[in-house]
Structures are given as C-alpha cells and as structure tokens.
C-alpha cells in the first residue's frame, strides 16, 4: 500500500498515537485549521462488472468482513481521534445540547397499557436507565406487576443490546423473544416460563427478529438467516425442550430477492409466512392449531403485492392487483387464490393510496394517504367515517388494537409541533378519549411553534410537499438558518411527526423542513415509481428544488442551509453534495449508502439481491451507466464541498461501515476546500446507532453541535 503525497505523516502519527493512548498534542491548544486529518493509504483494486466495465477502487482495502484488520481499525480509530480533536472546542455546546435533548425526556415513563385476553401489557422506563422493562398485569391495572423482561438487567455489561421482538404463547404462560448483543441484527431466540421465571437453556442464533407461536404452546416458528449474506432464507419450527439442531425446516426461499416475515392472523387460526420483494409479495399460511404445509393464499405473480388477514371466517386483502394505488377486497377460503373473484370493500382510487388496515368484528380501520398526508378511514355497518385532524401537516396511524371485539379504535396523532398522542375512538358513538400525550419536559409548549405545509415546484413541473416548522416570532426575511431533511427511497413516507430533538434548533431561531420527495410514497404509488430505478435522479433534484423554493421564499439564507439524511437518505446527501455543493453550507450524512455500484455488484453483501428492483442491477449495462452517473462515491470530483459530518457503525448490516469510510477517504483526497469533514464510527453499534434511549443522544448532540457551529447559530 502507498500513501498519498499530500499526507502529513507527523500529524497523522500524532493522531494515531493519541488513539493508542500515547502522548499527543492537546487538541484544546489547536484550531481546526491547524489540525490535519488522517489520510488513508491507497491500493489499486479493480471492480469489474459482468459486462466488462472496470473501475479502480483505491480504498477497497478498507473492507474487512471480520472487522478485525488492524490497518482498517487503525484508520477508523484515527478518524475518531480527529473528530474528537475538531469538536473539542465545541464541547460546551455539545454538552449543552445533550442536556437539552435528555432533559426533555420523562425518564420514568410508561406506554399506554393495552388489554389482550387476561392481561394488560405495557412498557415502562426507570429514572436514569437506558432500556425498557416489558411488563403485564392480570385482569386489572391495580393488580401486581409481572415483569416479563427487564432489558436493563439483560444489557448489563454489554456495549450494545436490543430486544428485537417478543411474543406471549396463546395460553399466556410462556414468552419467546429475540435479542441482539452486537448490533448486526442477527438475533438469538430465547424462551421464558412466565409463571416460574425460568429461562430455558435452548438458544438459537443467527435469526431474523420475527417469531410466531403455534396453538400447542410449545412450538415456535422462527426465521433463519444466511450466515454470509444475512438474508432471511429459511423458516424452522422449534419444540420447547428439544435440541435446536434437529429443528425441522418448514419453508426455504430460493429467490434471494425476497424478505421473509412471520405473523399470526387476527383470528388466531393461521400462522403465515410473509414473503416480499420490492415489487412482488406472497403469503403462505397454515393452521395454527395443526401446523402443516405453508400453502400460498395467492401464488406470487410478477408485480402483484398483497397483504391478507383473517377474521370471522373471511379474508380481507390489501392489494395492487388491477389497482395501482391498492384496494381493499374480501374473499372466502375458496376464492382467496383467485383475485378476479374478490369482492371490493374499498375500490381503487387514483387519488388515494391505501397503506395498511386492521380488522375488528364490527368494522375495518384503514390507513390511507391523500395529498401527501395520512388519514384513517373507518368502515362499519352504518357507512364510513374519517378521523379528523387539526393541523395542516400531521401524521395519523393505527396503534395497538389487540382485541378485535372492541368497539374502540386506538390510533396515534402527531405533527411537527404536537407530541405523539394516543386516542381511542368509539366507532359507534363517536366519543373520543385522550389516553396519553408523550410528555416533553424542559418548558415545552406547543403553542410556541407554527407548522406549515408548502408545495415546492420541481423542475419538471411536479409539486413537492414540504412540511415546515419554526418557533413563533420567526420573521421570513431570508436570514434564518435551515435544516432540511429528506429520504426518498423504498416507498417509505417521511411523515411530519414530532421530533423533540429538533426543538433545540427551533429555539435557536432555525427553521426545520421535511422535503417529501419522490421515491417515497407520500403522494401515492406513482410518487414512489418516479423516484426509483432509471428515474432515481428525481429524488435528488426534488430535494434541491425544495431548497431553492425555501430560499426563494425567504425561509432561509442561501448560505445558511444544512441538509440531513441517513441510510438511503445518506445516498441523497452524497448525491446533492456532488450535484449542488454550493447550495449547502453543511451536510449531515448518517450510515450513508454511498457506494451504489460496487455494493449492488456484490451479491454477498446483505440486502443487495433484495434491492435490484429498487436501484437496478448494474450487471445490466443500462443500469450500470445510470447508477454510476449518480453514485456518490464514484462522482466525487476535485472541487469544493460543504462541511460534512458522516456517521457509521462498525457492525452495521444494512449499510456496511466500509461505504462511508471509503467515501470519506476519497473525499479527503479529492476535495479542494478547507471545510471540515468528519467521520464518526461507533465501534460498538450497527445501523441504528447506539442502543439505549439516552446513549444515542450523545451522537445527536455531536452532529447538532457541528451543524450549529458551521451555520453560525448562537
């Protein structure tokens, strides 16, 4: 390996020595201009596509699937030491922000209890502790508490810990759960006797988080991951007390473009394997009482998606079969496999996108989206009604509704100024009850903030929804600092929900905006399809056009704009940094997917094969050329870039750490500006950052401090 000539060996050595715990110059005595960043070594490496196109990736050596390469770890450690040094003068601001962020949290809080069979279930937190306690009470909320899982005790002594999912057996006596102690989303299945407190000895590792009980109260279905690609590939059945090595295989998925999930139907009569690719889905079900072969409800058909649930002897289906924006239909056991025989419950509507539903004995609750906003429709014997909202930009969603016999519908409501609020609505009388609004401490008053819904024109004539919030008293005179957030992939809609972390920015006079760009599904299925594959660049230009609109309408100063995105939103950040670097003063890019072509050429990397329908397969020259034209890593040029903060986790299984590491290394070598560029690698975390509700705010405080420093916000 060779080192680029523009590196300063003495400065790099000092940083490496500091990272190893040896004496180095005090960062407090230095200014950022005097600090020299690490410079990664280069090593020629050709990445060759099946059609023969070749690219040199001089930082490919930073990839180490074992996470043990000393040279790679030394580089990441040096980058962390450099970030420490650059941010040292802003420690007071970072500490202040951390105090504000955590000071808004009611630490001894609990969720709204919900009733299921004989018990009330809830989650609670304790003062000063990072992890939840999952508990229940029998019969009444005045009964004695039964602690199912104290995650604080389970996480004790571990750098990372997360409970993926948990399920109580049908007889309510056993608990099965999945846990991850690394951050790589490779879970371990455990089982506990809730009556005695005994945790059984069998453990099954290398799993996805979903699990499902059979009605015999001793059989658990689980999903096994491929040890190399980490893809969900096989479903097995474990009998309590047996050797997991002998667990029978009940289903294997041969197509690597499909994800696997598990569910029990609302009627509790069926266990279903849910198979989904980007464009196609299939649901295979078996009797929960006498499990056998998992048979498809409707055999997979190209570009046909469906989601089915069962109650009161009928199947209800959400599907895009002959319905671009999806429709709701019902079917019997005899007709479920023949969509031409389904009966419409909610016909297709080009202006309304159906997202989800929940079944009750006497009504159906439907989540849908119109004009970029979510809403709830209730279909009952007397007709249909919509749940009302009070603000111009908001989000509304179904909450936990465990009992289908209830006449009360639970749902959540939130906006950029309204904390998440749980209501229940009596669908017969129309009575609405407020169950809980998430407490926000620190003197928060929603009356101090104003929310707007704007429509920014895209360069091709599309109308881009933009949600904006600011503190009242804000004057739209073109001088404010702005943080604009975006995602725009996978059809995931970025709803304008409350985020207490943003309050620290608003209270300092900033404006916060969410650009609901193409690639999401805010405006229906076409909005998604116009931001993927060979139309992916619409996602990036929409974000830039929304920025231009906000500046043109004086919501922000042209030289005080920050942009932020994570994961596929980090791809967005990398693209706009290359396409319009002068429009952004600072970019926050978290766990960013920035090496699009190399990753999508490598089917051993988790998620690659699942996502050919999202990005395209670069083995095809047409997709290769298009993806290469926007891939952030490949499009880095010798020019000025904004100040940038890039965050990653060493154990990330969704976007591998080496993508942002290589990206920063190449940026350092090619950019011509003197703006700070920081790479922060969490050495004990994965895609979601640190575990623990308080710990993750250290990361938030750091990148917010970086942003405020760069924007000149006092």
Mean pLDDT computed over 438-443:
95
Are the C-beta atoms of 220 and 235 separated by less than 8 Å?
Answer: no
Q: Do residues 372 and 515 touch, judged by C-beta distance below 8 A?
A: no
Residue 442 has pLDDT above 60, yes or no: yes
Spatial neighbors of 85 by CB under 8 A, at least 6 apart, are 15, 18, 27, 30, 35
State the pLDDT confidence band at 372, using cuts at 50, 70 and 90: confident
Whole-prediction pTM value? 0.89
**What topology does CATH give the domain 165-296?**
Methylamine Dehydrogenase; Chain H (2.130.10)
Distance separating alpha carbons of residues 62 and 65, to the nearest angstrom = 10
In the beta sheet, which residues pair with residue 328?
Answer: 318, 346
**Per-residue pLDDT, 688:** 59
620 part of the active site: no
Q: Would you state the pLDDT for residue 3?
A: 31
Q: Which structure tokens are listed for 228?
A: 């190399």
What is the number of other CB atoms lying within 10 angstroms of the CB of residue 118? 10
On whether the CB atoms of residues 543 and 572 are closer than 8 A, the answer is yes
What average pLDDT does range 291-310 have in this prediction? 97
Quick: pLDDT tens for 159-206. 889 999 999 999 999 999 999 988 778 899 999 999 999 999 999 999
Averaged pLDDT of the chain:
92
Residue 29 has pLDDT above 80, yes or no: no
Mean pLDDT of 474-497: 96
Residue 15 has pLDDT above 90, yes or no: no
Which pair of structure tokens corresponds to residue 520?
A: 């999401």
Q: Check 238, 310, 516, 687 and give the catalytic one.
A: 687
Catalytic residue among 277, 652, 691, 698: 652
pLDDT higher for 598 or 392? 598
* DSSP string of 13-27, one letter each residue: HHHHHHHTT-----G
Closest CA to 326 of 307, 354, 300: 354
Residues 6+ apart with CB under 8 A from 366: 328, 346, 354, 356, 357, 376, 377, 378, 379
Mean pLDDT within 551-574? 97
CA dihedral 106, 110, 111, 116 (to 10 degrees): 180
* Angle ∠(534,640,596) on CA atoms, nearest 5: 30
pLDDT band at 609 (very low <50, low <70, confident <90, very high): confident
pLDDT at 653: 76
Helix axes 70-87, 9-19, angle to 10 degrees: 90
Q: What is the pLDDT of residues 30-87, one digit of tens each?
A: 445 578 999 999 999 999 999 999 999 999 999 999 999 999 999 999 999 999 999 9
Average pLDDT over residues 578-605: 95
Count helices and strands in the chain by DSSP H and E runs = 13, 37
**Does residue 8 register a pLDDT over 70?**
no
Q: In which residue are the tokens 């196609």 written? A: 280
Question: Distance of CA 614 to CAs 279, 421, 491, Å?
Answer: 9, 34, 9
What percent of the chain has pLDDT above 70?
A: 94
**CA separation for the pair 615, 620 (Å, rounded):** 12
Q: Which of 116-130, 458-472, 679-693 has the lowest mean pLDDT?
A: 679-693
Instruction: State yes or no: is 595 an active-site residue.
Output: no
CA angle 131, 137, 143 (to 5 degrees): 125
16: its two tokens: 């490496």
Of 555, 589, 556, nearest to 574 by C-alpha is 589
**Which tens digits make up the pLDDT trace of 628-679?**
999 999 999 999 999 999 999 998 777 889 999 999 999 999 999 999 999 9
Q: Look at residue 246 in the predicted model and tell me its pLDDT.
A: 95
42 to each of 189, 556, 646, 665, 669, how far by Cα in Å? 42, 40, 20, 9, 10
Does domain 1-19+26-103+585-596+633-714 fall under CATH 3.40.50.2300? My reply is no
pLDDT computed for residue 685 by the predictor: 65
Decide if pLDDT at 92 tops 80. yes
Which pLDDT tens digit goes with each residue over 208-250?
A: 999 999 999 999 999 999 888 888 999 999 999 999 999 999 9
Sign of the torsion formed by the C-alpha atoms of 228, 233, 239 and 245: negative
Q: What percent of the chain has pLDDT over 90?
A: 84
Instruction: Please state the rounded mean pLDDT for residues 456-461.
Output: 98
Categorize the per-residue pLDDT at 280 as very low, low, confident or very high, splitting at 50, 70 and 90.
very high
424: enclosing H helix or E strand: strand 421-426
Selected catalytic residue, list 219, 281, 489, 567: 567
Instruction: Say yes or no to pLDDT of 690 above 70.
Output: no
Residue 20 in this model has a pLDDT that exceeds 70: no
Residue 2 has pLDDT above 60, yes or no: no
Residue ranges covered by each domain of the chain: 1-19+26-103+585-596+633-714, 107-157, 165-296
Eight-state DSSP code of residue 617: -
**Alpha-carbon span 483 to 467, nearest angstrom:** 12
Residue 705: predicted pLDDT: 98
652 as an active site residue: the answer is: yes
pLDDT at 26: 37
Query: So what's the pLDDT on residue 25?
Result: 34
């Amino acid at each position: 390996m060779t080192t680029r000539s523009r590196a300063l060996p003495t400065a790099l050595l000092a940083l490496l020595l500091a990272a190893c715990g040896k004496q180095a110059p005090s960062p407090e005595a230095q200014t950022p201009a005097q600090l020299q960043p690490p410079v990664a070594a280069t090593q020629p490496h050709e990445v060759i596509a099946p059609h023969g196109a070749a690219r040199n990736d001089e930082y490919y050596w930073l990839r180490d699937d074992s996470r043990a390469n000393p040279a790679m770890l030394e580089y990441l450690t040096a980058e962390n030491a450099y970030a420490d040094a650059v941010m040292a003068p802003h420690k007071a601001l970072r500490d202040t922000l951390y105090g504000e962020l955590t000071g808004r949290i009611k630490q001894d809080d609990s969720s709204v209890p919900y009733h299921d069979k004989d018990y009330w279930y809830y989650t609670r937190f304790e003062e000063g502790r990072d992890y939840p306690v999952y508990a229940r009470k029998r019969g009444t909320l005045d009964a004695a508490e039964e602690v199912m899982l104290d995650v604080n005790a389970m996480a004790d002594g571990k750098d990372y810990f997360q409970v993926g999912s948990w399920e109580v057996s049908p007889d309510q006596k056993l608990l099965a759960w999945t846990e991850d102690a690394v951050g790589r989303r490779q879970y371990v299945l455990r089982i506990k006797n809730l009556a005695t407190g005994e945790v059984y000895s069998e453990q099954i590792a290398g799993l996805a988080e979903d699990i499902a009980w059979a009605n015999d109260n001793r059989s658990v279905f689980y999903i096994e991951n491929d040890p190399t690609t980490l893809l969900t590939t096989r479903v097995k059945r474990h009998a309590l007390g047996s050797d997991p090595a002998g667990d029978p295989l009940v289903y294997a998925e041969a197509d690597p473009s499909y994800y696997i999930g598990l569910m029990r139907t609302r009627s509790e009569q069926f266990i279903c394997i849910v198979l989904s690719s980007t464009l196609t889905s299939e649901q295979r079900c078996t009797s929960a009482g006498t499990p056998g072969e998992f048979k498809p409800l409707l055999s997979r058909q190209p570009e046909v998606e469906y989601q089915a649930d069962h109650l009161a002897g009928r199947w209800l289906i959400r599907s895009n079969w002959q319905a671009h924006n999806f429709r709701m239909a019902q079917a019997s056991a005899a007709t479920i496999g023949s969509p031409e025989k389904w009966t419409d419950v909610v016909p297709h509507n080009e202006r309304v996108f159906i997202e989800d539903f929940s079944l009750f004995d006497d009504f159906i609750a439907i989540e849908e989206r119109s004009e970029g906003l979510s809403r709830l429709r209730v279909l009952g014997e007397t007709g249909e009604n919509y749940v009302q909202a009070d603000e111009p930009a908001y989000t509304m969603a179904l909450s936990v509704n465990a009992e289908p016999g209830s006449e009360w519908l639970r749902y959540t409501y939130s906006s950029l100024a309204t904390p998440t609020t749980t209501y229940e609505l009596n669908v017969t009388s129309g009575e609405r009850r407020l169950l809980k609004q998430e407490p926000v401490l620190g003197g928060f008053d929603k009356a101090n903030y104003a929310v707007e819904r704007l429509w920014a024109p895209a360069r091709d004539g599309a109308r881009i929804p933009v949600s904006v919030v600011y503190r009242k008293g804000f004057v739209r005179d073109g001088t404010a600092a702005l943080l604009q957030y975006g995602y725009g992939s996978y059809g995931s809609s970025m709803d304008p929900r409350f985020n207490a972390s943003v309050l620290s920015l608003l209270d300092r006079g900033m404006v916060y905006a969410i650009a609901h760009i193409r690639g999401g599904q805010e405006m229906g299925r076409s909005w998604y399809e116009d931001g993927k594959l060979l139309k992916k660049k619409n996602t990036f230009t929409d974000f830039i056009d929304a920025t231009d609109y906000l500046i043109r309408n004086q919501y922000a100063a042209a030289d005080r704009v920050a942009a932020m995105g994570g994961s596929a939103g980090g791809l967005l950040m990398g693209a706009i940094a290359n396409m319009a670097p002068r429009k952004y003063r600072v970019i926050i890019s978290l766990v960013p997917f920035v090496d699009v072509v190399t990753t999508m050429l490598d089917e051993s990397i988790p998620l690659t094969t699942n996502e050919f329908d999202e990005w395209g397969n670069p083995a095809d020259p047409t997709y290769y050329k298009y993806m290469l034209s926007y891939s952030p890593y490949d499009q880095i040029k010798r020019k000025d870039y904004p100040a940038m903060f890039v965050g990653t986790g060493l154990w990330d299984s969704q976007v591998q750490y080496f993508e942002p590491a290589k990206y920063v290394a190449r940026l350092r070598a090619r950019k011509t500006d003197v703006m700070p560029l920081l790479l922060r690698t969490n050495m004990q975390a994965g895609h979601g950052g640190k575990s623990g509700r308080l710990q993750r705010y250290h990361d938030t405080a750091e990148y917010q401090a970086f942003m405020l420093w760069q924007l000149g916000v006092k």
